Amino acid sequence: MQDATIALGAGQVGEHGGRDGTGAAGVVLNVAADADDAELWAERVRAAYDELRAPLWRAIVAWSGSNDVADEAVAESFAQLLRRGAEVRDPAAWAWRSAFRIAAGDLKRRRLATGPGSDGLRTVAGRPDRLPDDAIDLVRALAQLSDQQRRCVALVDVAGHTAPSAAAVLGTSAATVRVQLMRARRHLRTLLADPAEEIR
Amino acid sequence: MTTPNDPRNDPFRGLDSVEPPDRWDEIVARAELADDAVLAPELGDHGRGVRRPVFLAAAVLSLIGAVAGVALVARDPADHQRQGVETAGPQSDPPTAMWGRAWQVVRIERDGTDVPVVPAAIEAIDRTSGDTAGPFPLRLHAENTGVVGFNGCNGSGGPAHLDGDVLVPDGEWAHEQRGCHVKGLMDQEAWLQTFLLSRVHVTVSGERLTLSKGHDMIEMDDVRGLDAPEGIWGHSWEVTRFVVDGRKSEHVTEHPGPTGPLEDWVGVPVRFTFQEARQSDPKGMATGSLRLAGCNRIHTQPDGVSIRTDHLVVDGFVTHDMLCNDSPPPAMATFFQTGPTIELRGEHLVLRSGTSSMEATRVTGADPAGDPAGTTTTRTATSTTTARPGGTVTTSPDTPVSRPTSSSPPEGGTTFAVAGFFGERWTVTKVMEGGAGYRFPGAVIDASQPGMVVVPGCNGAGGPMRLEGSRLVPSGQWAHTAVGCPSPTDGGPDLEARDAWFERFLSDGPTIGAFHDGADGSTTTTLLTDTATVTITHS
C-alpha cells in the first residue's frame, strides 16, 4: 500500500478501499486498485518516459529555445501523469500535450519576469547550454519563426511526428500543420543558409 | 553548422545528438511531493505562475492529500496564533477571516433539508506515519493564497476572492473525476463543487464558517477550534443525533425541540458516560471505561477505552443477557467499536466513523460514576442482547417485537423522577436474573419512608438508602432478622432464599429505571444491577 502511495503521489491518498474491503470496479487506480495496480501504472509511465523523454525534450527545446523549460516541462508532465493514474487512457498523447502546455506557461512567466522591453524568446531562453553548436544554430533559427510554425517543426521535423499526430498534440488539423510546415521549412532554409538573417 | 540543402534531414538533426538526462527519480519525487510545494504559502517564483492549470489541479489534489496532515496538526497550540484571524467570538467576523484556515463541515442543508455529511475518505494512508488511518472528515481549505477547495475522493477547488461577503470564483477551477465507492460521496462532491461556484455568501463567526446560497447552506467549524479529545473523560453525554451509514438511526427518535436529546423508544434520553481510569496504561496513555445507559448496562472494562491521536479506541463491551428491548445502546456500542474520530468543542461532542456519526452534548450535573440515565424499559422482554469483550454487540430478537413508532410512551406516561421511588410501597411483579424467568413474585419492597428501604419477609431486612443520580445505594448499616423459616412446600416460595436474595440485590446498589404510568393508575419501574432486573409496581 505504501508503494502505491509513493507511485501515485499524495493526491491519490484517499480511498484505498473502505472498511468493507470492497472497491468499485472501473474506478481509477488510486481508488480501487491495490499496490500491484499502482506498480503496473508506474511501470507503464516509466516505459513511456523512456520512449518519449528524448524526442519530447528535443521538441520542446526546439520550440521554446530553452533546455531549462524543456527539463521542467518534461519532468512535470510525467509527474502529473504518475499522479493522475489510470484515468489517463493514452499516457504518451497526454504527455505530449501536457508538456507543451506546461512549457507554454513557463515561457509566459519567464517573459513576464524579464519585464517591459524584453525581446521575447531570445531573452527568455538566453543561450542554450548543454547544446552543441549545430543545435544552437537550429534553435536560434527556429526562434525566428512564428509560434505555430515552430511548434510544427518541433513536432514533425525534430520529434518525428506525422502531420496528423502533430495536429492531435496541437489541437488543430493535419492540413494546417502541413501548411505551417511548408512555410516554416522555406523560412528555415533561408535562415540557415544566411546566418546574418539569424537575428533581426 | 547544419547544411541547409536538405531541409527535412540535416537542418533538423542538430538536436539528435543531445541526450536529455534521466530525471525519473525526480519525477517520482514530484509526483509524491508536488502538492505540498504547491500549497505552501511561500511559493517561489518558479512555481507560482509557471503552470496555472497544473497548479490548480495540484492544489486540489493537495486538498485531498492534506487530510491526514491536518488531522495531525489540528491541536498544535501554535495554530491558534493565526495571522490576522480573531479567535472565538459570538459576533460576526469579517468574511475575510475565512482565509488561511481549514474548516470542517458539520452540517449541510440542500434545498432547505438537512442531509448527512459523507466523510471525505473512509480510510487513507497517513503520510507522516505511513499507517492506514481514517476516517477523514470533509473539510474546506481556504488558503491564504486565495485558493479554496474541498478535500475528498474528487476534491474540487480553485482561486477565488471575496466581493463583500460573496465568494467569487476566479478563473479556472479544477475538479477530479474519479470513481469513488463510498456511498453518496460522488453526489456530495458534485454538489459541493456546484455550490462553491455559485457565488455563495460567507459568514464567519468565531470558529464557525457558514456558506449559504438560497436554500443551500454549509456550516463548518475551524478544525483548530477543537478541544483536546481527552475532555471526554469524566462526563456523561446525551445523544442529540445518531446517523448510521448515512441515515438517521431508527433506534432513536428526534426530540420535538430543535436541540433536545434523542430518546429511546420509551422516551428516555439516550446517554453514555466516559470514566477515566485511575491509572494510565504502561505507555502513559490515558484509558478509561465507557458505559451506555440502558437495561443491559453495556459497558467496557475499566481500561477498555483509550484515545489514540483523535480516535476513540474501544476494546470491547461486556453486558448482561437481560431480556429487554434495549436497541439504542447495542447500536451505539457497535458504532463505538468502529474507532470513531473525536471532535470536541466545549460541551459538544461529535464522533465520526465512515458514514456514521453521533453528536452529543455534555450532561451537566450528572454523576459520571453512576448511570445517569439509568434507562430501562417497562415493556416486556423482547430480545436477548449479548456482547463479547473485543467483539461486537449483537441483538437477536426472541419474539416478534411490536415497537412504538415514536417516542411517545406505549401507554399512559413515562417519567424519570427517581425521587418518586421513595414514599411508595412497591410490589415485585418480576425478577429476572441471568436471563432466566420469574422468581420471587409477590415480594414487597417498602420505600414508604424516605431514605429507608425494607423488604418484609420471614427474615425481613432493611436499612437506609439514598439516591446517587439514578442509583439506589445503601447509606448505612442494614438490619435483618434471623429466624428459622418454614421449608418450602411444593410450589411455595423459599422464603429464606428470597429474603437473602433481595438483601444482596439491594446492597449492590441498583439503578432505578423509568417510571411508567399505566392506564389503570399503577406506576411501574425497574431496579437494575449488573446481574438482575426487578420490576416493581404500586397502585
Q: Are strands B394-397 and B271-276 parallel, antiparallel or unpaired?
A: unpaired
**Which range in A36-40, B138-142, B483-487 is most confidently predicted, on average pLDDT?**
B138-142
What does the alpha-carbon distance between residue B27 and residue A17 come to, in Å, rounded to a whole number? 26
Option in B11, B35, B50 nearest A188 (CB): B11
Verify that B200 and B234 share a domain, yes or no.
Answer: no
pLDDT of B5 reads 39
Does some domain include residue B178? Answer: yes
Test A2 with B130 for CB contact under 8 angstroms: yes
Nearest to A188 by CA among A178, A197, A179: A197
- Residue-wise pLDDT for B73-115, tens only, equals 222 223 333 333 333 334 578 888 888 778 888 888 888 787 8
| More confident call, B310 vs B71 | B310
* pLDDT over 50 (residue B237): yes
Determine contact, residues B445/B456, Cβ cutoff 8 Å. Answer: no
Give which of B5, B27, B153 to mutate to test A binding, by max A Cβ within 10 Å: B27
Determine which of B130-144, B221-235, B501-515 has the lowest per-residue pLDDT on average: B130-144
Task: Evaluate whether residue B28 is within a structural domain.
Answer: no
What is the predicted pLDDT for the residue at B164?
A: 86
- Domain holding B317: CATH number? 2.40.128.270
Residue B138 CA: distances (Å) to CA of A130, B205, B355: 48, 20, 11
> How high is the pLDDT of residue A83?
81
B45 vs B314, which has greater pLDDT? B314
Report pLDDT for B265: 45
Q: Judge: B34–A134 Cβ closer than 8 Å, yes or no.
A: no
DSSP at B169: E
Query: Is residue A156 over pLDDT 60?
Result: yes
**Mean per-residue pLDDT over chain A, rounded:** 70
Residues B375 and B443 in one domain: no
Candidates A1, A76, A78; nearest CB to B54: A76
CA B234 – CA B278 distance, rounded (Å): 11
pLDDT surpassing 50 at residue B225 = yes
Shortest Cα–Cα distance, A169 to chain B (Å): 17
The answer to whether residue B314 is domain-embedded is yes
A5: left (phi > 0), else alpha (psi -120 to 50), else beta? alpha
B155-176 in b/e form (b: 16+ CB < 10 A) is bbbbbbeeeeeebebeeebbbb
B428 with B500, same domain: the answer is: yes
User: Does the pLDDT at position B401 exceed 60?
Assistant: no
Q: Which CATH number fits domain A53-197: 1.50.40, 2.40.440, 1.20.140, 1.10.890?
A: 1.20.140
Burial B350-379 (b: 16+ CB within 10 A, else e): bbbbbbbbbbbbbbeebebebbbbbbbbbb
Residue for cell digits 518525428? A160
**Average pLDDT for residues B373-401, to the nearest whole number?**
30
pLDDT at A50: 92
Q: Chain A closest CA to B306's CA: distance in Å?
A: 21
CB contact under 8 A, A5 and B125: yes
Greater model confidence, B8 or B151: B151
Q: What is the largest CA-CA distance in chain A?
A: 72
- Check A31 against B35: CB less than 8 A apart: no
| Domain residue spans of chain A | 53-197
pLDDT band at B287 (very low <50, low <70, confident <90, very high): confident
Tell me the three cell numbers of residue B47: 512555481
SS3 B351: strand
Q: Enter the DSSP assignment of B413.
A: E
Does the pLDDT of residue B36 top 60, yes or no? no
Tell me the chain B residues in contact with residue A9 when contact means C-beta distances shorter than 8 Å: 31-35, 61, 65
Co-location of B141 and B264 in the same domain: no
In this predicted structure, the answer to whether residue A96 has a pLDDT above a threshold of 80 is yes
Residue bearing the bigger pLDDT, B332 or B320: B332
**Both B367 and B449 in a single domain?**
no
Same domain, B146 and B173: yes
Q: How far is Cα B341 from Cα B359, in angstroms, rounded to an integer?
A: 12
Identify whether residues B377 and B263 lie together within a single domain: yes
- Phi (first) and psi of residue B248, to 5 degrees: -60, 135
Q: Which residues contact B127 (CB under 8 A, 6 or more apart)?
A: A5, A10, A13, B65, B68, B69
Separation of alpha carbons B533 and B432, rounded Å:
5
Q: What are B426-466's pLDDT values in tens digits?
A: 888 877 775 555 566 678 898 888 888 888 877 778 888 88
Confidence band, pLDDT 50/70/90 cuts, at residue A102: confident
Average pLDDT, chain B: 66
Closest CA of chain A from B108, distance in Å: 21
Residue B261, domain member (yes or no): yes
Higher pLDDT, B441 or B19: B19
Mutation for A interface: B12, B55, B141, most A CBs within 10 A: B12
**pLDDT given at position A89:** 77
- B15/A31 Cβ within 8 A: no
Residue appearing with cell numbers 429507608: B452
- E-strand spans in B293-423? 305-308, 311-314, 341-345, 348-353, 356-363, 383-386, 394-397, 413-415
> Which range has the worst mean pLDDT, B39-48, B127-136, B149-158, B436-445?
B39-48
pLDDT of residue A141: 85
Q: What is the DSSP letter of A155?
A: I
pLDDT of res. A25: 25
pLDDT confidence bin for B283, thresholds 50/70/90: very low
Grid cell listed for B469: 443520580
Range picked from A152-156, B34-38, B64-68, B385-389 for highest mean pLDDT: A152-156
- How far apart CA B318 and CA B305 sit, in angstroms, is 13
Q: Evaluate whether ipTM surpasses 0.85.
A: no
pLDDT at residue A92 greater than cutoff 80: yes
Q: Which member of A54, A79, A141 has the closest CB to residue B34?
A: A79
**How do residues A12-62 score in pLDDT, each as one tens digit?**
222 222 222 222 222 222 333 345 677 888 888 999 999 999 999 999 988
- Residues B246 and B169 grouped into a single domain: no
Position B329 scores a pLDDT of 62
Whether residue B296 has pLDDT greater than 70: no
Q: DSSP letters along B29-44, please?
A: HHHHHHHHHHHSSS--
Same structural domain for residues B181 and B199?
yes
Lowest-confidence segment of A73-77, A138-142, B320-324, B399-403 by average pLDDT? B399-403
In chain A the first and final C-alpha atoms are separated, in Å, by 58
**Same domain assignment for residues B373 and B419:** no
Split into its structural domains, chain B has a count of: 3
| B505 located within any domain | yes
Q: Looking at per-residue confidence, does A11 or B505 come out higher? A: B505
Residue A2: closest C-alpha in chain B: B130
Min Cα separation A120/chain B (Å): 16
Mutation site, A15, A67, A76, A134, interface B, largest B CB count within 10 A: A15
Number of residues that make up chain A: 200
| pLDDT tens-digit map of B520-539 | 778 888 787 767 778 888 87
Size of interface A-B (CB pairs under 8 A): 216
Q: Is A27 in contact with B181 (Cβ distance < 8 A)?
A: yes
Report the residue of chain A nearest B136, measured CA to CA: A14
Q: B169, B192, B225: which is the final residue of a domain?
A: B225
Could you tell me which residue, B130 or B472, shows the higher pLDDT? B472
Residues of chain B with pLDDT > 90, as a percent, come to 2
Q: How far is B313 from chain A (nearest CA, A)?
A: 16
Q: Is the pLDDT of residue B50 over 90?
A: no
Structural domain harbouring B204: 63-225
Question: Does residue B298 have a pLDDT over 50?
Answer: yes
A18 forms bridges with which residues in the sheet? none
**Are residues A30 and B51, on separate chains, in Cβ contact within 8 Å?**
no
Of A83, A102, A189, the CB nearest to B7: A189
Do B301 and B281 sit in the same domain of this protein?
yes
Per residue, the 3-state secondary structure of B223-269, as one string, reads: HHHCECHHHHCCEEEEEEEEEECCEECCCCECCCCCCCCCECCCCCE
Q: Between A9, A26, A136, which is nearest B32 by CB?
A: A9
In this structure, the answer to whether residues B523 and B511 fall within a common structural domain is: yes
Residue of B178, B189, B334, B392 to mutate when probing chain A, most A C-beta within 10 A: B178
Residue of A nearest to B339 (CA): A19
Q: Which of B397, B421, B450 is the last residue of a domain?
A: B397
- Residue B133 grid cell: 488511518
